[in-house]
Chain A
């Protein structure tokens, strides 16, 4: 029977999969292997000597340099500090927003607020950086005006290390809190309606409702937020690059911004590749954890 229909063989799925797999291999895996090779070479394309030597193999030199490079560690530490600054804020605000959007009443306003969450998420990251530069401008920025209304002295946000760091934190919180809120909202809508209604009859306290009924449904979302946000922070480039270029000094030199500079301003592609590979290892660990936690049911 099957023989009459050539499309039903054991190999059928592979025909359907092949184009995507080949494409992703060619543009994802092959360049990665090339990056590993590059990371073992002295590969500065602006140094004539390197080119004349045919970009010689130097073994683990680039990795040694990356590990002993204080700036690299500083920027990883800064990325960690950035994560610890934005994510707790996003979680607290996200839960608050999700609870407000979940609570019955004000149907139309609730729908509008819900749709508005999409706006920051869709805004081009580079444009977020541009808006940030305007809002946090020393002379005519609206951030200083807001502070003025609360009688707080204005400051040159992007001109000093602390201010610049706060400014990129604010813009990231603006852009990604809606994402966190939507994840928690999805969690809240998983609470069975009967249970939630029974609980509402039982208690007037929203706190008790949150603590004993809703919290268990928020926890899976929390893990998703922690893992996805950490990989996103490791990837964060556009907004920071546009807003501060990593400065002033190294105050906002997050890891992706730093590696980009080593690669495309200094053109030390060997060292930059080694750093990028280290970053990749970190990301693979993260994504393995992510998959372990969330896709267990498929396995």
Chain B
């Protein structure tokens, strides 16, 4: 019986190691490829052991393209995150603490935005922003990213605000606090963990977005990082080292963020259908 247990336990460990390899391999392959030189990259069959070099990183930061793109992504993602928190948290407060007609419908409308394909909005937004001269601006991206960021902020913060005891609010009311005071001085500070998690999700989603950025921005110095990374994909001999270095630069910060909120990952991606 003890040997039966031991076999099971070893299989369990092997299984876990396989899971680890499965999830990390493409990531590992991207990073190691970014440290290879062109000869090593084009070796057939691929080589696993080599002298790592940071030449590709020096190369991509030598001209401004990648740096500008990362900065653009940073500007867009930070602005849209800030805006969705500013607009989303009051709405979440109302949904968490007030009863009114049409509340359920409103709630569902927020949530169903999660399902809508960006291509549905990309076409009209392209035409509309062409008419009002917003094409090729960061503003249009900041605004359109609200379509997926606002729902996530509203969802997670509503959940968080609901868990704050009502007694606090009651006693503040007796002392004459206005509704705005209560939101600003009680709900926001106490709900900060939820606000932070939703902000991180908003940042990750905006940072990673490609379709809108691809069709709404054509001017080279306004392009975001994912678009610039895909732009390498032309010509005969692709600069794989530079491509993978750029990929690593893009993916590294969001991966760190995602690990920070890993406990909430399911909640963020399902809009809380499973807790």
Interface string of A111-130 (1 = CB under 8 A from B): 01111111111111111111
Give the total of A residues in contact with B, Cβ under 8 Å: 109
Task: Please state if B115 and A231 are interface contacts (CB–CB under 8 Å).
Answer: yes
The answer, yes or no, to whether B273 is at the interface (CB within 8 Å) is yes
Contacts of A81-109 to chain B: CB distance below 8 A: 96-97, 100-101, 103, 105-106, 109
Task: Please state if B250 and A124 are interface contacts (CB–CB under 8 Å).
Answer: yes
Task: Please state if B119 and A259 are interface contacts (CB–CB under 8 Å).
Answer: yes
B114 — which chain A residues lie within 8 A by C-beta?
231, 287
Q: Complex: how many Å from CA A13 to CA B104?
A: 14
B74 to chain A, nearest CB (A): 14
Task: Please state if B30 and A131 are interface contacts (CB–CB under 8 Å).
Answer: yes
Task: Please state if A126 and B229 are interface contacts (CB–CB under 8 Å).
Answer: yes
| Chain A residue, CB-CB nearest to B248 | A127
Task: Please state if B42 and A140 are interface contacts (CB–CB under 8 Å).
Answer: yes
Task: Please state if B269 and A27 are interface contacts (CB–CB under 8 Å).
Answer: no
Task: Please state if A112 and B20 are interface contacts (CB–CB under 8 Å).
Answer: yes
Contacts across chains A and B counted by CB atoms under 8 Å:
322
The answer, yes or no, to whether A216 is at the interface (CB within 8 Å) is no
- Please judge, given known A-B contacts A135-B29, A187-B274, A224-B270, whether A110 and B16 are in contact too, CB under 8 Å: yes
A195 — which chain B residues lie within 8 A by C-beta?
none
* B50-58, B60-68, B86-94, B188-196 - interface stretch: B86-94
- Please judge, given known A-B contacts A19-B87, A32-B124, A109-B13, whether A5 and B273 are in contact too, CB under 8 Å: no
B93 — which chain A residues lie within 8 A by C-beta?
16
A51 to chain B, nearest CB (A): 12
The answer, yes or no, to whether B46 is at the interface (CB within 8 Å) is yes
User: What interface size band does chain B fall in?
Assistant: 35 or more
Contacts of A123-148 to chain B: CB distance below 8 A: 123-135, 139-142, 144-145, 148
- The interface residues of chain A, by DSSP majority, are classed as helix
Contacts of B204-255 to chain A: CB distance below 8 A: 204, 207-208, 210-211, 215, 225-227, 229-230, 233, 240, 243-244, 247, 250-251, 254-255
- Please judge, given known A-B contacts A17-B90, A256-B119, whether A6 and B178 are in contact too, CB under 8 Å: yes
A109 — which chain B residues lie within 8 A by C-beta?
13, 16-17, 20
Q: Complex: how many Å from CA A113 to CA B23?
A: 8
B264 to chain A, nearest CB (A): 10
Task: Please state if B275 and A20 are interface contacts (CB–CB under 8 Å).
Answer: no
Task: Please state if A140 and B44 are interface contacts (CB–CB under 8 Å).
Answer: yes
Q: Complex: how many Å from CA A132 to CA B134?
A: 34
- Please judge, given known A-B contacts A183-B274, A276-B123, whether A260 and B211 are in contact too, CB under 8 Å: yes
A228 to chain B, nearest CB (A): 6
Q: Complex: how many Å from CA A119 to CA B23?
A: 7
The answer, yes or no, to whether A291 is at the interface (CB within 8 Å) is yes
A178 — which chain B residues lie within 8 A by C-beta?
23
B115 — which chain A residues lie within 8 A by C-beta?
231, 235, 283-284, 286-287, 290
- Please judge, given known A-B contacts A38-B124, A140-B46, A260-B211, whether A19 and B230 are in contact too, CB under 8 Å: no
B210 — which chain A residues lie within 8 A by C-beta?
124-126, 237-238, 241-242
A260 — which chain B residues lie within 8 A by C-beta?
119, 122, 211, 215
30 contacts between A and B (CB under 8 A): A5-B173, A17-B94, A19-B90, A20-B87, A20-B110, A23-B150, A24-B109, A28-B113, A96-B15, A100-B15, A101-B16, A103-B12, A105-B9, A113-B19, A115-B259, A117-B19, A118-B262, A119-B259, A124-B225, A127-B250, A130-B30, A134-B243, A178-B23, A179-B265, A187-B274, A220-B274, A221-B274, A235-B119, A259-B119, A279-B117
Binding site for B on A (CB under 8 A): 5-8, 10, 12-17, 19-21, 23-24, 27-28, 30-32, 34-35, 38, 96-97, 100-101, 103, 105-106, 109-110, 112-135, 139-142, 144-145, 148, 171, 174, 177-179, 182-183, 185-187, 204, 220-221, 224, 228, 231, 234-235, 237-238, 241-242, 256, 259-260, 263-264, 269, 272-273, 276-277, 279-280, 283-284, 286-288, 290-291, 294-295, 298-299
Additional A-B contact list (11), CB under 8 Å, known A27-B125, A276-B120, A284-B115: A5-B173, A7-B178, A27-B147, A119-B27, A123-B27, A123-B254, A140-B42, A183-B274, A256-B118, A283-B115, A283-B120
